[in-house]
Structure 1
Amino acid sequence: MNKRVNIGLFLIVIIGLVSGCAGNQNQFATTNDANIVKVHTSKPIDQSVANQAKEKVIKEEEISGVKAVNTDKELLLAVKVNQFDRFRLKKIEKKVKSDLEKAYPDHKIEVSTDSKMYLELEQLEQKLQKDKTNMKTLKKEFDKIKSLMKEKA
């Protein structure tokens, strides 16, 4: 009787482990099909530099998401880094910044890997997308995010 209970418990544990691990097969598969939302506005707030920068940066294999907003002379960009690459945040941030400085020499570029900056830029992108901001408000929020980025550095 006791031997049957032990065998039954052993089988239940094995079945539980096998079924629990079977669903996570694609958990570690790296996909670079992150959605990039291109910001288009009907007002004269041109976001083409930010859109081009997002396309360029998302091609990096360690980056899973990008948010960016630009003014006429500055570009703020926040990246979401894949979980296993988080140990190299500073290195990734530096590489992205240098690549963008080469591509856009006439813009002052700030890059962050901080998730708060990512969320702040995402909110600003959404406001721009919905045309709920003007140049004055954009500049004010842009400067606020820029000062937060410098504070974190």
Structure 2
Amino acid sequence: MKKSVFLIMGVTLLLGACGANEGSSELALMNRTNPDPVHTTDKGPKVSEKSVEKDVEALPELYDVAVIKGKKDFLVAYKVKHLQRFRMKAIEKKLADKLEKKYPNEKFTVSSDYKIFLEATRLQEKIKSGKYNDKAAEKRLQEIIELQKEKT
């Protein structure tokens, strides 16, 4: 009797702990987060970040996308489906070409790197919560873009 009570309590605690952080950047690498696209400032590109996200999500090889619109450029971070990971370079080129063709006047930084995705998700959370003002958010966005450029 005691064993079954402890087993039920243990399972309940385990399930409760697993669902506590759903949707946060802490589990962004394991779960699908579907963060809403955000912008660092109202000035800058006239292209909507939501339309860019819609175009990126249309690719069947991708399953999670983070789009951040800055003053001068966009950061598009995404996760590739597991069986498509062997084609990551081709997918990145296909996505970059698609975005450049559809939005020729915009500058895009495209990344399938998990670290960039995680940093973009954290930035989105801080922008939405109001922890970053426009200037701080733009500065952090440029730092993430520089991190991506250093990687390549």
TM-score normalised by L of structure 1 = 0.69
Name the aligned partner's letter for residue 65 of structure 1: D
Q: Which has the larger radius of gyration?
A: 1
Contact 2:36 2:66 in 1 (8 A): no
Report which stretch shifted further, 94-103 or 116-125.
94-103
CA RMSD of aligned residues (A): 2.3
Name the aligned partner's letter for residue 90 of structure 1: K
With over 3 angstroms needed to count, the CA separation of the structure-2 counterparts of 1:79 and 1:40, relative to structure 1, is closer
With over 3 angstroms needed to count, the CA separation of the structure-2 counterparts of 1:40 and 1:145, relative to structure 1, is closer
Contact 1:36 1:55 in 2 (8 A): no
- State percent identity of aligned pairs: 33
Counterpart-to-counterpart distance in 1, 2:57 and 2:99: 12
* Structure 2 equivalent of residue 38 of structure 1: 36
With over 3 angstroms needed to count, the CA separation of the structure-2 counterparts of 1:72 and 1:105, relative to structure 1, is farther
Secondary structure, counterpart of 1:98 in structure 2: helix
Name the aligned partner's letter for residue 133 of structure 2: N
Counterpart-to-counterpart distance in 2, 1:75 and 1:114: 16
Counterpart-to-counterpart distance in 2, 1:55 and 1:130: 23
With over 3 angstroms needed to count, the CA separation of the structure-2 counterparts of 1:105 and 1:131, relative to structure 1, is farther
Contact 1:77 1:112 in 2 (8 A): yes
Counterpart-to-counterpart distance in 2, 1:92 and 1:85: 9
5+ unaligned residues in a row in structure 2: which ranges?
Answer: 1-31
With over 3 angstroms needed to count, the CA separation of the structure-2 counterparts of 1:90 and 1:57, relative to structure 1, is same
* Structure 2 equivalent of residue 4 of structure 1: none
Q: Spell out the pairing of 1:65-80 with structure 2 (5 A cutoff).
A: 65-80=64-79
Contact 1:39 1:128 in 2 (8 A): no
Secondary structure, counterpart of 2:48 in structure 1: helix
| Cα deviation, residue 124, structure 1 | 0.8
Q: Spell out the pairing of 1:2-21 with structure 2 (5 A cutoff).
A: none
Counterpart-to-counterpart distance in 2, 1:69 and 1:81: 18
Name the aligned partner's letter for residue 106 of structure 1: N
- Confirm or deny that 1:62 pairs with 2:43: no
Name the aligned partner's letter for residue 146 of structure 1: I
* Structure 2 equivalent of residue 103 of structure 1: 102
